[in-house]
Amino acid sequence: MREQITILGVPIDNITLEESGEITKKLILESHKTCKMIFAPNTEFVMKANKDKEFFDILQQSDLSTPDSVGIMLGAKMQKKKFKQRIPGQAYFREVLRVAEKEGFTVYLLGGMPGIPEKTKENVLKSFPNLKIVGTHDGYIEGEKEREVIEEINQLQPNIVFVAMGAPKQEKWIYQHRKELKVDVATGQGGTFDYEAGRIKRAPKAIQKMGMEWLWRLTREPKRIIRMSVLPVYVIKLFFKKDKTKGKFEPIKAE
């Protein structure tokens, strides 16, 4: 039985980082290429989902959803609940790679600008030298290219495909193609490859621990301010809709 906390209608699993790796392993072993869906909701996700019914409905159907941000922790706190642990996207990525290396699971990296998934592969292999990364492709695959990539993935039949195209694009992509993808699990990774490839630097550990990485990212990528302008609205919504139930879509009006 999954223990979940629902934040503005989006169900999120209450698990530790270690459990996230174990559950992913279990999903892979049970899947038989049925493309289980793993998502990592953060504050922006939840806000986008409350304006976009398609995205909202997709998030209801995850096989695992990890709590990715400080805002998600706050959402639980305002319901007098508590997540066991915050699981930043990159930490989850690395935990799954650790499990994959140990278990011999194969991995495909899809997303980011050309060169980024290849550089990600090169860098993660330094930490996990026996990991089987069987393929990579950038995340700009409109039209013909998309078909080719799906065919390549289906030939390789990896256990895990990491899809890093940003939200909600990656979740919609996984959902739309889940029936044809011959993979065990597909998971949305946002900007993780950009960090792993060294394109964007993560905040120093002390800042990460303080839960202030969002502020660090803002100083690095000022255009994020537009995306972050949803945060005050998020807090207000949390305040007024503390216990909104799973699966109930009540659109938030565009501000």
Q: Which is nearer to ligand UDP, 28 or 59 (CB)?
A: 59
Nearest distance, CB of residue 89 and ligand UDP, angstroms: 6
Q: Which is nearer to ligand UDP, 140 or 151 (CB)?
A: 140
Question: Site for ligand UDP (CB under 6 A): which residue of 165, 174, 181, 186?
Answer: 165
Q: Which is nearer to ligand UDP, 169 or 182 (CB)?
A: 169
Question: Site for ligand UDP (CB under 6 A): which residue of 17, 78, 113, 235?
Answer: 113
Residues 6+ apart with CB under 8 A from 151: none
Nearest distance, CB of residue 48 and ligand UDP, angstroms: 10
Question: Site for ligand UDP (CB under 6 A): which residue of 78, 134, 166, 202?
Answer: 166
Count the site residues for ligand UDP by CB under 6 A.
Answer: 14
Phi and psi torsions of 114, nearest 5°: -50, 135
Nearest distance, CB of residue 112 and ligand UDP, angstroms: 4
Cβ atoms within 10 Å of 180's Cβ, excluding its own: 11
Question: Site for ligand UDP (CB under 6 A): which residue of 75, 88, 139, 158?
Answer: 139
Contact flag: residue 190 with ligand UDP (CB under 6 A): yes
Contact flag: residue 140 with ligand UDP (CB under 6 A): yes
Q: How far apart are CA 109 and CA 134, in angstroms?
A: 9
> Residues 138, 114: contact at Cβ < 8 Å?
yes
Nearest distance, CB of residue 149 and ligand UDP, angstroms: 11
In which residue are the tokens 């799973």 written? Answer: 246
Q: Can you tell me whether residue 37 is helix, strand or coil?
A: strand
Contact flag: residue 168 with ligand UDP (CB under 6 A): no
Nearest distance, CB of residue 29 and ligand UDP, angstroms: 28
CB closest to ligand UDP, residue no: 139
Q: How far is CA 234 from the centre of its chain?
A: 19
Nearest distance, CB of residue 90 and ligand UDP, angstroms: 9
What is the DSSP-derived secondary structure letter of residue 2?
A: -
DSSP string, 179-239: TT---SEEEE-TTHHHHHTTSSPPPPHHHHHTT-HHHHHHHH-TTHHHHHTHHHHHHHHHH
Nearest distance, CB of residue 30 and ligand UDP, angstroms: 27
In which residue are the tokens 């803002």 written? Answer: 218
Over the Cα atoms of the chain, what is R_g?
Answer: 17
How far, in Å, are 105, 143, 245 from residue 98 at the CA level? 10, 34, 35
Nearest Cα neighbor of 39 from 86, 75, 3, 89 is 89
Contact flag: residue 72 with ligand UDP (CB under 6 A): no
- The first and second tokens of residue 187, run together, are 């998971």
Question: Site for ligand UDP (CB under 6 A): which residue of 10, 167, 238, 252?
Answer: 167
Task: Provide the binding-site residues for ligand UDP, judged by CB under 6 A.
Answer: 111-113, 139-140, 164-167, 169, 190-191, 193-194
